[in-house]
Chains A and B, each alone.
Chain A
Amino acid sequence: MNVSVSWDADTAVEEMYAAHYRRLVRLAVLLVRDQETAEEVVQDSFVAMHGRWRTLKQPDKALAYLRQTVVNRARSVLRHRGVRAHHMPAVQPDHPGADVDALDAERRTHVLDALRELPGRQREVLALRYYLDLSEAEIADTLGISRGAVKSHASRGVSALRHLLKDAS
């Protein structure tokens, strides 16, 4: 997997975008909730990756870098938004509807809302583990924490999420 390619930075961005953009946006939505913000976070990460391509050189490293940058930037956005949350209207789900699409949307809303309730690290570990399917070691690398910490955030996050979703249903 450790392939060096002869891409220049522009080609690297193009290739990585084609292969990973959507999944990274979806990861960011799990982290920040709002899609527009998620897209900004991911775009900024691609721009940052472009600037670093000279040292990354390999698609796998570039991907690890993108993942890490998305998680870090998502965290910064949330920290920044914490201040603004007070003068923002509360998120109000769409009117309840009994049709299947509305129920689907409502279920998704519940899960995303529940994730937002979790402490940041737990949310990050769950998203990396269950959405990106990363290994414990990969998550530890991405977040810059120990494997033991990953384990404990994961188990706390899982039980907190289970609790929140039970309450919601």
Chain B
Amino acid sequence: MNDFPGSPEDQDLRRLLNDAVSDVEPDQTFDEIRSRTTASGSSRRPWIWGVGAAVVATAATITAVAMMGGSPGTTGAQDPGFANESPTAGAKDGTDEPSDGPSSPQANPVTVPVYYVGDTGRGPRLFREFHTLPGSGHVPMTLALNEAVAGTSDDGDYRTDWPASTTVDPRVRAFDGGAITVHLRNSEMDLRERPDNMSPDVASMAVEQLIYTAQAGTRTRAPVQFTLNGEPTEAVLGVPAAEPLSEGDPTEVLAQVWIIEPAEGAKVESGFEVTGLANAFEANVQWELMQGEEVVESGFTTAEECCTMAPYSFTVKAPPGDYTLVVHDSDPSGGEGFPPWEDTKNITITE
């Protein structure tokens, strides 16, 4: 069926392209196609899901596409069928799963970046974790957003401040390249208002949490338009949100020291590598391996750059046992200014 030679390079390219989209789990939107094909028989129906500027842009795109797309004829002289419905040579490593339909949503797990709030010496700030979730057939970004509002962080120091029963509608198309639309739902309380027990700082960080998670999920810095229960909203948790919101300055929103590896609760061997991101004073990153109050090992390293979130890494050797790893920046004020930034992970060093 394939008359291209199956050289090793061809095999590599097959693997490469299959891998590149192996984490793409389309939203299952059969109902929407159905509603468009049965309503009037016309494809120029109103674009019904979602509201706001992003959707206006989407509708414009679709209309333009509908007019520009032309109508390709069929050419099926040999009609060879869909070559890839069965696993093909070169598509190894499980990258070539059989197709699935609306009735059998594939449970391929997807790994998504999710932001949570942690308390720091300078108030609530964001930390990031990677969560592996069962693929429900929805867009990974919406899975990540639901994990952000209602999921549990691995690190017990982090949390979400979103009111209970908040969800992000996963069935709604959310990104057209111009703005990301995040469709919040909560049937129990009005998310427009800031709850009495929530400070303005916490509310604004909760909104940033979703902006950062949505942007990470789309790998863009596109602004985020919030909607509430399917309607436009002028505010979310008391934060004005009538227009799409850009992310806040990372130096004011993110915690400035993160441990990425090892994760909370990890079991590692002595000589393990610690990696993370830090925006540390003069790029100096310090660490301690603690057992209770006792410092068992300590050291310092330099992040790759100063004055931005930059990668750092170091290795730690210590006898087997349970530890708390603390990574922090140095305190240039000698204790008079803000407490240093720090992140901690509880880990176990195994034999």
Contacts and interface: CB of A to CB of B under 8 A. Distances in A.
A-B complex is real: yes
Interface of A: 1-2, 9-10, 13-14, 17-23, 25-27, 29-30, 34-44, 46-48, 50-52, 55-56, 58, 60-61, 63-65, 68-69, 72-73, 76-77, 79-81, 84, 88-99, 101-102, 104-105, 107-109, 111-112, 115, 126-127, 129-138, 141-142, 144, 154, 158, 161
28 contacts: A1-B81, A17-B102, A18-B99, A19-B101, A21-B26, A22-B24, A22-B99, A26-B24, A34-B177, A35-B24, A35-B26, A36-B218, A40-B173, A43-B32, A43-B33, A44-B62, A48-B69, A50-B33, A58-B76, A73-B65, A84-B177, A94-B113, A97-B130, A131-B84, A135-B3, A136-B3, A142-B75, A161-B13
Contacts of B231: none
A161 B154 CA distance: 38
B251 interface: no
Interface stretch (B36-44, B283-291, B319-327): B36-44
Interface in B126-159: 128, 130, 132, 139-140
A88 B101 contact: no
A63 B37 contact: no
A58 B113 CA distance: 42
B233 interface: no
B99 A23 contact: yes
Nearest to B310: A96
A69 B10 CA distance: 26
B41 A51 contact: yes
A50 B37 contact: yes
B333 interface: no
Residue in B9, B17, B36, B38 whose Cβ sees the most chain A Cβ within 10 Å = B17
Contact of B83 (A36, A95, A111, A134): A134
B260 A23 contact: no
B37 A9 contact: yes
Contacts of A88: 177-178, 220, 222
Contacts of A72: 69-70, 72
Given A22-B99, A40-B65, A144-B72, 14 more contacts: A21-B102, A25-B24, A35-B26, A36-B175, A40-B176, A44-B66, A52-B71, A58-B76, A89-B222, A97-B277, A102-B130, A115-B20, A133-B84, A134-B2
